[in-house]
Amino acid sequence: MSALHINEIKKYFGSLLVLDGVSLDIAQSEVVAVIGRSGSGKSTMLRCINGLEKIQSGSIEVAGHRIGPQGGDLRSLRKEVGMVFQSYNLFPHLTVLENVTLAPKVVKGVDREEAEEIAHEVLRRVGLAEKSGAYADELSGGQQQRVAIARSLAMQPKVMLFDEVTSALDPELTGEVLKTMEELADAGMTMVLVTHEMGFARQVADRTVFMHKGKIWEQGASEDVFANPQTPELRNFIAPNLK
Name 2's bridge partners. Answer: 27
Q: Which is nearer to other proteins, 147 or 238 (CB)?
A: 147
| Interaction between residue 79 and other proteins (CB under 8 A) | yes
Helix axes 141-153, 171-186, angle to 10 degrees: 20
Residue 145's CB is within 10 A of a number of other CB atoms, namely: 30
**Cβ closer to other proteins: 8 or 91?**
91
**75 near other proteins (CB under 8 A):** yes
81-84 and 159-163 strand pairing: parallel
Q: What region, left, alpha or beta, does residue 89 occupy, with left being phi > 0 and alpha being psi -120 to 50 degrees? A: left
Any bridge partners for residue 161, and if so which? 83, 192
Q: What is the C-alpha to C-alpha distance for residues 128 and 115, in angstroms, rounded to an integer?
A: 16
Nearest residue (CB) to other proteins, 174 versus 219: 174
Site for other proteins in 35-64 (CB under 8 A): 50, 52
Please report the DSSP string for 116-171 in residue order.
Answer: HHHHHHHHHHTT-GGGTT-BGGGS-HHHHHHHHHHHHHTT--SEEEEESTTTTS-H
Residue 188 backbone phi and psi in degrees, to 5: 95, 15
Cα 166 to its chain centre, rounded Å, is 11
Question: At closest approach, how far in Å is the CB of 141 from other proteins?
Answer: 9
Q: Which stretch binds other proteins (CB under 8 A): 16-24, 71-79, 204-212, 224-232?
A: 71-79
Binding to other proteins by residue 92, rule CB under 8 A? Answer: yes
Convert residues 100-129 into a mask of x (bound to other proteins by CB under 8 A) and - (unbound): --xx--xx----------------------
Task: Work out which of 57, 89, 230, 241 binds other proteins, going by CB under 8 A.
Answer: 89
Parallel/antiparallel/unpaired status of strands 215-221 and 207-212: antiparallel
Least distance between other proteins and beta carbon 213 (Å): 26
Q: How far is the CB of 19 from other proteins (least distance, A)?
A: 19
Per rule CB under 8 A, is residue 143 in the interface with other proteins? no
Residue 18 contacts other proteins per CB under 8 A: no
- To other proteins, the closest distance from the beta carbon of 63 in angstroms equals 12
Interacting residue ranges for other proteins, rule: CB under 8 A: 50, 52, 74-76, 78-79, 82-83, 85, 87-93, 102-103, 106-107, 135-137, 151-152, 155, 168
